[in-house]
Amino acid sequence: MISDANLKRLPRENVETYPVRTPSQRPELATVEIGLNAAIVAVIDNEPMVLVVRETGNDASSPEGLPFGPFAPREHRTLEGGLRAWVGEQAGLDLGYVEQLYTFGDRGRHTDPGDAAPHVVSIGYLALTETSQIEDPQRGQWRSWYHYFPWEDWRKGRPEILEAEIYPKLREWAERPVPKGAPQRPVSREDRARICFGLDGTAWDEEKVLERYELLYEAGLVEEARRDGREAALSWSPAPKFGALMRYDHRRVLATAIGRTRAKIKYRPVVFELMPPDFTLFELQRTVEAILGPHLHKQNFRRLVEGAGLVEPTGDVKTRTGGRPAKLYRFRREVLLERPAPGVRVKPGRVV
């Protein structure tokens, strides 16, 4: 099952050839444009949602994108400050929890139909908001993040799109000869597809959201690859378009955001950024499951959350749950002042 061919080092990026430059010369810093993008996440009715906007003035058929804006160093002292300003304005939201995700700079992955494709370095951010705080966003709307990544939705078991569409295409791609111009990868296409997408009995790792998207992009199986003129995308006919397109490289940013959220929820108490002030433990569990995938053991989940001191009862109960009333809890913010505050430590991906 495991081929260890060409396994010498951890995967590294394509090795390019570099122009020789005299080291003694003072490096001249080249200027580029910086785009700040935010994946703003909320859980609404047990559905993980992300806020998307359509560029003003464009028709309804233009692809959606994340709220974004340029970084104007004269106006904003910090990157995050610039982000909060743009998003506050574009989406009509005051962001609470914000964290930087990653900085993307690949040439040719920030194109937009009609753009002259200037070189843009895009810095992705993740923001978590709670439903009760959401005023109606002025522009833009909430969409399930699974709208863009249907293969990530394991809440009803393994998504059909995997067996029916993605796996066959990936296997076909893996068997093609690797073009000469392409980077020499230390891991074979077959192994990469197997590890990312859980083929051949390999476990599905719900954190590898970005890796999966990037693999689909490389294989030309998402629309962005075709838009960017990637060779692999032109080889399919009809062109498979898995998940909904986003503008620029925003789907990549969103993939990073989902992966980071899934990872972080397990070791930092960030779920509570998505919860209203008071909640039942089962509501908390549903929120975790919306993000990670379902089927957590209810009793053990309670034990873990209570045992870690993450919550405290408010004293009230919530009736009309359909059964026995549920105690209401609130987040114990003091845990942030205590030793390394844990997340909801749940074993992921036990769905088959």
Coil, helix or strand at residue 230: coil
Measure the CA–CA gap between 250 and 207, rounded to whole angstroms: 18
How far lies 189's CA from each of 14, 171, 182, 241, in Å?
A: 15, 9, 12, 20
**Residue 316: CB minimum distance to its own copies, A:** 20
* One of 9, 21, 77, 324 touching DNA (CB under 7 A): 324
SS3 114: coil
When CB distances are held under 5 to 8 angstroms depending on the partner's kind, the choice from DNA, its own copies, none that residue 281 binds is DNA
Q: Is 58 in the site for DNA (CB under 7 A)?
A: no
Residue 178: closest CA among 190, 169, 162, 168? 190
Instruction: Confirm or reject binding of residue 181 to its own copies (CB under 8 A).
Output: no
Q: In whole angstroms, how close is the CB of 97 to its own copies at the nearest point?
A: 5
**Given the rule CB under 7 A, which of 19-27, 111-119, 265-273, 316-324 is the region that contacts DNA?**
316-324
- 339 near DNA, rule: CB under 7 A: no
Binding residues among 109-138 for its own copies as defined by CB under 8 A: 118-121, 123
Taking CB under 7 A as the criterion, the residue among 171, 174, 282, 330 binding DNA is 282
**What's the burial of 27, exposed, middle or buried (CB within 10 Å: 0-12/13-18/19+)?**
exposed
Tokens of 280: 């039942």
Tokens for 152, please give them: 């990530």
DSSP letter for 130, please.
-
Angle subtended by helix axes 281-292 and 250-264, to nearest 10 = 140
Between 2 and 164, CB nearer to its own copies: 2
Candidate list 54, 112, 139, 308; residue touching its own copies; CB under 8 A: 139
Q: Choose the stretch contacting its own copies; rule: CB under 8 A; options: 88-96, 151-159, 167-175, 279-287.
A: 88-96
Compare residues 57 and 322 and give the one whose CB is closer to its own copies: 57
Strands 141-144, 278-280: pairing is unpaired
- Whole-angstrom Cα distance, residue 83 to residue 38? 7
For residue 105, give the DSSP letter.
-
Contact flag: residue 86 with its own copies (CB under 8 A): yes
330: contact with DNA by CB under 7 A: no
Residues between 38 and 77 that touch its own copies (CB under 8 A): 55-57, 68-77
Of 285-304, binders to DNA (CB under 7 A) are 297-300, 302-304
